[in-house]
Structure 1
């Protein structure tokens, strides 16, 4: 209740507000053009990122889930029904928001199983911070027919969230490398999974870069590009 309503657009889009704060923000929204535009932009960002990172779960995952259901005892029905407290409702919304961020970052269940809870939580926080930044800018480029790369960047944070979809796998000796492109020489922004798996990457050091590029380099990356980027994106 102490937060400025202008700071609530991000949590509102992620449905992470308690009922009181949500109603308060919805009363504020019709009279504030800035908040209305920010909320609309965040919805567009989450939708684009979800489309860029979506992937079909493997068939073996269904069998694993069904097997677990078969040997898991179901909880008995409750003896009495109580309405959840405001605190419980708030926590449930925060949990839902965390699940949404995991889905948007393209991790899915199979990726999450291979990361510790602490790592996933840290990544979720970083991704959410970039996506809900007031100056977040989204760009998507198509590559290799069905492939795509999406970059959500924030100059105020100096970071970007990069997701890929259906990039061609590379041999072990090669890697996709990201670059910040600007008035000076290209600067490395790190490497992507050589298998083309759509795992999210939070890249630091945006600085004065105006464009984002991807090249194919030797495994481990290069100090400077060995060839022109096969993909470039405007950073806004």
Structure 2
């Protein structure tokens, strides 16, 4: 069944098109500004969705705050004095104690959080640049145990790799990514399963024709020592 190319931006970004429709859409894309804009926007949206992972605060945090509040004596206001009005911005000792405990608990992680936020922002910029590049090319491969999507940009020489359902390996093994053909395989870095679809930016695309993943000894290998688990074509 042949579809109107204007209806294929979503499936294309998600890597859900067959080879024939994907090639047809990619021939259409440079000639249609509307589809090009929509494709770029969808790529950026899927990037943010992949990065936006909500995390529940640890259960022990509430317990520690409430325990500290319970230990902090609440002094009644002196007789004859009016209670501070909410409009004056006065805080009760209860609220102040809770704020103090939260500050003490959070203080030890502020530096780590700041560094993590800086890293996430830098990653966001890298991922967005690749996903919205005019020559961005999306390819997806699936096996019984994993799905890997690669969005590559030859103009940037980089690719965004996203995995799902990738099984954990024994400590002595690691997943290693490779740029394949026409030259001998070149390492594109190692891959650690996270349990969540997190994008990874890898560089050195060059003139590689395919992307592959193998299982190697921990730390990686100069050249593949096993057959690829899967390979993907690069645009």
After TM superposition, the score normalised by the length of structure 1 is: 0.58
> How far apart are 1:116 and its partner, in Å?
1.3
Alignment of 1:17-166 (within 5 A): 34-46=32-44, 53=50, 61=56, 64=59, 67=62, 116-145=116-145, 147-166=146-165
Which structure has the larger Rg over C-alpha atoms? 2
The range that moved more, 34-43 or 207-216, is: 34-43
Q: Any runs of at least 4 consecutive aligned residues in structure 1 with deviations exceeding 4 A, and if so which?
A: 46-51, 53-58, 62-68, 112-115, 194-197
Q: 5+ unaligned residues in a row in structure 2: which ranges?
A: 1-29, 67-85, 88-111
- Contact map agreement 2:47 2:127 (CA 8 A) in 1: no
Q: Is the 8 A contact 1:215 1:227 kept in 2?
A: yes
Residue correspondences, number: 162
Distance 2:60 2:181 in 1: 47
Change (3 A) 1:190 1:225: same
State the superposition RMSD in angstroms.
3.4
Q: Any idea what SS the aligned residue of 2:34 has?
A: helix
Cα displacement string for residues 96-118 of structure 1 (whole angstroms, at most 9, x for unaligned residues): xxxxxxxxxxxxxxxx9696121
Q: Over residues 106-140 of structure 1, what are the superposed CA-to-partner deviations in whole Å (9 max), with x where a residue is unaligned?
A: xxxxxx96961211111111001101111011111
For normalisation by structure 2, the TM-score amounts to 0.58
Q: Which runs of 5+ in 1 are unaligned?
A: 1-31, 78-111
